[in-house]
Amino acid sequence: MRIKVIAGNWKMNNDLFESKDLISRLLNGLINTTANCEVVICPPFTSLSEASAMIKGSTIKLGAQNFHQEEIGAFTGEVSAKMLLSTGCEFVIIGHSERRTIFMETDELINKKILRAINNNLKPIFCVGELLEEREKNITEQVIQRQVLKGLENFSVGYLKNLIIAYEPVWAIGTGKTANPQQAEEVHHFIRKLIERHFSQEFAKSLRILYGGSVKPDNSKDLLAQKNIDGALVGGACLNADSFLNIIKSA
Among this protein's residues, is 18 annotated catalytic?
Answer: no
| Choice among 96, 98, 105, 188 that is catalytic | 96
Q: Please say if 96 is a catalytic residue.
A: yes
Residue nearest to ligand PEP (CB): 235
Nearer to ligand PEP, 202 or 218 (CB): 218
Of 38, 98, 105, 168, which is the active-site residue?
168
Q: Which residues would be at the binding site for ligand PEP (CB under 6 A)?
A: 9, 168, 173-174, 212-215, 233-237
CB 152, min distance to ligand PEP, A: 20
- Smallest distance, Å, CB 214 to ligand PEP? 4
State in angstroms the smallest separation of the CB of 95 from ligand PEP: 11
3-state secondary structure the chain: CCCEEEEEECCCCCCHHHHHHHHHHHHHHHHCCCCCEEEEEECCHHHHHHHHHHHCCCCEEEEECCCCCCCCCCCCCCCCHHHHHHHCCCEEEECCHHHHHCCCCCHHHHHHHHHHHHHCCCEEEEEECCCHHHHHCCCHHHHHHHHHHHHCCCCCHHHHCCCEEEECCHHHCCCCCCCCHHHHHHHHHHHHHHHHHHCCHHHHHHCEEEEECCCCHHHHHHHHCCCCCCEEEECHHHHCHHHHHHHHHHC
Using the minimum distance from each CB to ligand PEP, give the nearer residue, 63 or 81. 63
Nearer to ligand PEP, 81 or 215 (CB): 215
Active site residues: 96, 168
